[in-house]
Amino acid sequence: MTSDAASFSGKVAFVTGASSGIGRATALAFARAGASVAAVDIDEVGVAETVREIAEFGGAAVALTCDVSSEGDVKAAVKGTIEAFGRLDAAFNNAGIEQPVAPLAEIGASDADRLIAVNLKSVFLCMQSQVPEMLARGGGTIVNTASGAGVAGFAGQSIYCATKFGVVGMTKAAALDYAPLGVRINAICPGIVQTPMMDRFTGDTDEGRARVVAQEPIGRMGAPGEIADAVLWLSSDASSFVVGHAMVVDGGQTV
Ligand code: NAD
């Protein structure tokens, strides 16, 4: 990547799930690359901490508290971004929740509704508000977080898999809608990444971690920064010919 292509100087990035894990690492990476960052999350305390960390190295960021499954909240967050920074160039729609491991028939309908709302409908709501702002200023990029569970099935994860396959499908279709107009849309499919979500999944125990690492040909979990690097590449001019791609960054887990 040339330094020009990697620079987000003068650009504005919108990151959901910015309080924790992959979202926080990506918000910090965008800010380090020169972007002004709208840090968006339902966790008001966590998102303020992300903004504080960005301010510590002289970056610009605003904290926006938002439930990404709420149309009103998402519209307000995008509006807040424009009010704060005047434009929106790169969106990373990443907030998500995990499913308790259980076979399909044991999942409650209300749990399924919540997973679909937070992991899938949110991506629709975010893109619907973001795209017009990008079109109004000549274009932009969107990266949506899917998962290895968006390209392969995993036992005990039926609804989570459904939401993530849905993110991949929505990404590909929306990419076709907007590529001709200058908005490039792609998805990222992380493997097992060391985040608070993964700690909950493994029970934060050595045994739980060993069980998931056994699925990783590379022999370890990914770091949130390794996903952030890929998101910045997909958001940068270095990937200018990449459209509607579901980029798997998973240590070989789904190979
Ligand atoms: P995390 O739990 O560390 O962070 C998720 C963030 O999303 C949190 O800050 C949380 O407050 C926020 N969030 C949850 N519900 C929200 C809502 N309704 N509105 C706004 N914000 C909300 O998890 P993570 O591991 O960093 O996961 C980030 C994304 O990556 C998720 O979409 C997840 O499904 C996906 N993913 C994670 C892994 C992994 O191994 N960690 C693998 C594949 C995909």
Task: State phi, psi for 11 to the nearest 5 degrees.
Answer: -105, 160
Query: Which whole number is the average pLDDT over 15-21?
Result: 98
Query: Which whole number is the average pLDDT over 232-247?
Result: 98
- Among protein residues, the one with the nearest Cα to ligand 1's atom 4 is 20
Active site residue 160: yes
In a domain, 97, yes or no: yes
In a domain, 210, yes or no: yes
Residue 123, pLDDT above cutoff 80: yes
Residue 195, pLDDT above cutoff 50: yes
Order the strands of the 90-93 sheet from edge to edge.
Answer: 61-65, 36-41, 12-16, 90-93, 140-145, 183-190, 246-249
In a domain, 234, yes or no: yes
Total number of domains constituting the chain: 1
Nearest to 182 by CA among 219, 226, 135: 135
Which residues, including other chains, have CB under 8 Å from residue 106's CB and lie 6 or more apart?
Answer: none
What is the atom index within ligand 1 of the atom nearest the CA of 96? Answer: 32
Ligand 1 centroid to 95 CA: how many Å? 5
What is the atom index within ligand 1 of the atom nearest the CA of 160? Answer: 34
Best of 22, 47, 145 for a ligand 1 pocket test (most atoms within 8 Å of beta carbon): 22
Residue 3, pLDDT above cutoff 80: no
What's the pLDDT at 4? 53
pLDDT digits (tens, 9 = 90+) for 34-62: 999 999 999 999 999 999 999 999 999 99
Question: Which amino acids bring their CB within 6 angstroms of ligand 1?
Answer: 16-17, 19-23, 41-43, 46, 66-69, 94-97, 118, 145, 147, 190, 192-193, 195-198
For residue 30, the enclosing domain spans 4-249
Ligand 1 centroid to 21 CA: how many Å? 7
Other beta carbons less than 10 A from residue 153's beta carbon: 10
Ligand 1 centroid to 17 CA: how many Å? 6
Q: What is the dihedral of CA 228, 234, 237, 242, to 10 degrees?
A: 170
What is the atom index within ligand 1 of the atom nearest the CA of 25? Answer: 26
In a domain, 255, yes or no: no
Average pLDDT value for the chain: 96
> Number of helices (H) and strands (E), helices first, in the chain?
10, 7
Other beta carbons less than 10 A from residue 247's beta carbon: 19
Other beta carbons less than 10 A from residue 158's beta carbon: 20
The CATH number given to whatever domain includes residue 108 is: 3.40.50.720
DSSP category for residue 128: H
In a domain, 254, yes or no: no
Which residues, including other chains, have CB under 8 Å from residue 144's CB and lie 6 or more apart?
Answer: 93, 94, 123, 127, 167, 170, 171, 185, 186, 187, 188
Which residues, including other chains, have CB under 8 Å from residue 198's CB and lie 6 or more apart?
Answer: 21, 192, 212, 221
CA 53 to chain centre: 19
In a domain, 81, yes or no: yes
User: 85, 92, 160, 178: which is the annotated catalytic residue?
Assistant: 160
Residue 244, pLDDT above cutoff 60: yes
What is the atom index within ligand 1 of the atom nearest the CA of 197? Answer: 2
Distance in angstroms (rounded) separating the CA atoms of residues 246 and 166: 12
Beta-strand pair 36-41/61-65: parallel
Task: State phi, psi for 116 to the nearest 5 degrees.
Answer: -65, -40
Residues of 2-26 as b/e, b for ≥16 C-beta within 10 angstroms?
eeeeeebeebbbbbbbbbbbbbbbb
